[in-house]
């Protein structure tokens, strides 16, 4: 479970987060939807402790990230944007390395790595160095890193960007699988179809604030639109109207 309460963060002149509160529950896929510059990445970075909020708290499984960063991050998997691969390591070494950093022993890490690599159909590239990988192969490597230690909570920052249809499907199936196994999945996106197809709960964000929270259907009903895209435009547009 990931919970943020009244998060505020100013970066330079910009109020990146403005009294942001929401909760992503276990066994659900939660989508953080917003236009570019809405504060999605800032919000996620605050959750895994890279940024300190000016106000408010972020909690993972009830543990305050800024107070007990190591304990809080113990149950967290992260799929970052950009991926941050080590180009000179192979996916097997890369994934195993982060598994060990998450507290697995060397033997456990190797076993867990082998399992996740075959789960993602990566056996053919598992022992090749990451340099020169395609976008899809990079995505899979980053994803394997995020889930190798079976964390309760998984955060994905713009996971579908630059992926072809096949890779997107792999990702989608994997996220559904995680949800069925009771994991809490939180991802940010600005791709409507992704969010509509996957999410149980959508958090619409703009200018660092929560505009609306609900299932895709709820949001459509709320705005009286047929598609999530139209609902989204309506929500964001209305907000701009108010702001002006």
Partner 1 sequence: MMNKIMTMVRKELIDAARDKRSVMAGLSYAIGTPLLMCGMFMLLIGQMSSPKDLNIKIEHANNAPDLIKYLSSQGITHGDSRSTDDQGEPLDVKDIRLVISEDYAAQMAKGLSAEVILIADNSNEKLQNSIRRLERNLQTYSAEMGSLRLIARGIDPRVVQPIKVKIEDQATPDSKGGIILGIATMTMIYAVFISGMNLAIDTSAGERERNSLALLLSHPVSTRSIVLAKVFAVTVFAMLGLLLTLIISKISYAYVPWHELGFTVNISTDFILLMLLIGLPIAMMAASLQLFVSFMAKSFKEAQSYLTLVLIVPMMLSMAASYNIAPDTLQWLPVSGQQQALIAFIKGREIPMLQLVLSSVVTLVITLALTFAMERSLKSEKIIFGL
Q: Kindly state the smallest distance separating residue 20's Cβ from partner 1, in Å.
A: 18
Q: Kindly state the smallest distance separating residue 50's Cβ from partner 1, in Å.
A: 6
Which of these, 233, 37, 240, lies nearest to 223 by C-alpha position? Answer: 233
Q: Kindly state the smallest distance separating residue 141's Cβ from partner 1, in Å.
A: 12
Which regions of the chain does DSSP assign to beta strands (E)? 2-11, 14-24, 28-33, 55-60, 63-64, 76-79, 153-157, 184-189, 201-206, 209-214
- Main-chain dihedrals φ then ψ at residue 9, nearest 5 degrees: -150, 130
Binding site for partner 1 (CB under 8 A): 45, 48-52, 69-71, 73-74, 76, 78, 80, 82-89, 93, 97-98, 100-103, 105-106, 129
Q: Kindly state the smallest distance separating residue 211's Cβ from partner 1, in Å.
A: 26
Length of the chain: 244
For every residue of 118-176, DSSP letters joined together read HHTT-TTTTTS-STT--HHHHHHHHHHHHHTT--SEEEEESTTTT--HHHHHHHHHHHH
Residue at token pair 């236009």: 35
Residue placing its CB nearer to partner 1 in the complex, 3 or 176: 3
Q: Kindly state the smallest distance separating residue 115's Cβ from partner 1, in Å.
A: 19
Using DSSP's 3-state secondary structure scheme, residue 242 falls into helix
Residue placing its CB nearer to partner 1 in the complex, 146 or 236: 146
Residue placing its CB nearer to partner 1 in the complex, 36 or 52: 52
Residue placing its CB nearer to partner 1 in the complex, 63 or 213: 63
Residue placing its CB nearer to partner 1 in the complex, 70 or 166: 70
Q: Kindly state the smallest distance separating residue 221's Cβ from partner 1, in Å.
A: 37
Residue placing its CB nearer to partner 1 in the complex, 85 or 196: 85
Separation of alpha carbons 218 and 231, rounded Å: 10
Separation of alpha carbons 122 and 188, rounded Å: 25
Which two structure tokens, joined as six digits, stand for 88? Answer: 């000179």
Separation of alpha carbons 63 and 21, rounded Å: 16
Q: Kindly state the smallest distance separating residue 240's Cβ from partner 1, in Å.
A: 28
């Amino acid at each position: 479970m990931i919970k943020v309460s009244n998060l505020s963060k100013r970066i330079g002149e910009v109020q990146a987060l403005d009294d942001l509160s929401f909760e992503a529950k276990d066994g659900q896929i939660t989508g953080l939807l917003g236009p570019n510059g809405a504060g999605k990445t800032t919000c996620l970075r605050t959750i895994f402790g890279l940024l300190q909020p000016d106000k408010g708290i972020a909690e993972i499984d009830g543990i305050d990230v800024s107070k007990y960063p190591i304990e809080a991050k113990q149950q967290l998997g992260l799929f970052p944007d950009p991926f941050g691969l080590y180009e000179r390591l192979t996916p097997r070494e890369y994934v195993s390395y982060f598994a060990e950093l998450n507290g697995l022993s060397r033997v456990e890490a190797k076993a867990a790595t082998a399992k996740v690599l075959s789960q993602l159909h990566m056996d053919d590239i598992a022992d090749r160095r990451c340099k020169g990988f395609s976008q899809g192969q990079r995505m899979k490597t980053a994803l394997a890193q995020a889930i190798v230690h079976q964390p309760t909570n998984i955060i994905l920052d713009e996971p579908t960007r630059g992926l072809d249809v096949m890779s997107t499907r792999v990702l989608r199936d994997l996220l559904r699988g995680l949800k069925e196994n009771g994991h809490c999945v939180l991802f940010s996106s600005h791709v409507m179809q992704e969010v509509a197809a996957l999410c149980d709960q959508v958090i619409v964000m703009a200018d660092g604030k929560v505009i609306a929270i609900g299932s895709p259907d709820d949001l459509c009903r709320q705005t009286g639109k047929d598609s999530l895209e139209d609902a989204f435009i309506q929500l964001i547009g209305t907000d701009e109207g108010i702001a002006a």
